[in-house]
Amino acid sequence: MNFDWSKYFNVETIDKVLRIGIILVVGLLILGIITAVVKKLLPARFSMQRKMLINRFVRYTGVVILFLIIISEMNIDLTAIFGAAGVIGIVIGVASQTSIGNIVSGFFLVSEKPFELGDLIRIGDKSGTVYSIDLLSIKIKTLDNLLLRIPNQTVISTEVINVTKFPIRRLDIDLSVAYKEDLEKVIEVIKRVVKRNPFCLDEPEPLVVFKDFGDSGINILLGVWFEKANFLKVKNSLFIEIKSTFDAEGIEIPFPHVSIYTGEATKPFPFVAKASE
């Protein structure tokens, strides 16, 4: 069987392929330049997320325009392509419902803006900084530097906590003091520790609340406000300072106690100390 190669590899075809190649190379180059220029021209006050969205819009629009130019250069009838695209679209749509769900969820995420690039978020039991918000998923850089991909549909249907949305936060510390302690003195000592800590804000005022009479002592909630960047500093320094000040002031931090009785509720178990031989 004689195959007529000249039908495909003639001057006209080679000319067309070359022209398409040149259009493709020049087009991608121009698109790259336009994207870079747009990136540079975007005002600094725009958030990282807004910049990313504008850049992607420019790039995808450019790719679509380039695709249409190449199609018209190839003299392909677009109606046939669109017709085929409709059929293919239905097939792909049925086969990839999850992906489409993710894409639609992605649009909701972008419009609702519960977080932006760089925010520290908590989804379920995972925490991390938002690394990218893509068509199908968001990527999170966890605090131990792992990349976590979460499908957009999961993000939409899960409770998301944006830890760094607001400039200041409150750190809650549960404390416990022995029943014998003078509670007014305890409050005064706690307030003094907070006031002296350089990372605690003096306003909004720290919260000191007696929570309940616990099994081993009186439970107290201490809430201190701090600028979000100081989380680790404030947490570590407060724990050290509270412990050392309580020690210095003779305030006992209790641990679980068990009282053993020998029949009468108010009389303790008789304990006799014997000198060792």
Site residues (vs another protein, CB under 8 A)? 165-168, 195-204, 207, 209, 225, 227, 237, 241
Least distance between another protein and beta carbon 192 (Å):
10
Token pair of 174 as six digits: 């549960």
Q: Cβ distance 182 to 259 under 8 Å?
A: no
Least distance between another protein and beta carbon 259 (Å):
33
Least distance between another protein and beta carbon 94 (Å):
45
Closest CA to 69 of 8, 119, 25, 130: 25
Closest CB to another protein among residues 66, 201 = 201
Closest CB to another protein among residues 153, 225 = 225
Residue 109 three-state SS: helix
Closest CB to another protein among residues 156, 187 = 187
Least distance between another protein and beta carbon 196 (Å):
4
Least distance between another protein and beta carbon 65 (Å):
42
Closest CB to another protein among residues 185, 196 = 196
Closest CB to another protein among residues 201, 253 = 201
In Å, what is the CA distance from 50 to each residue of 41, 113, 116? 13, 10, 9
Distance, first Cα to last Cα, the chain: 114
Residue 165 three-state SS: coil
Q: Element (H or E) spanning 207, and its range?
A: strand 207-213
The amino acid at residue 270 is: P
The amino acid at residue 108 is: F
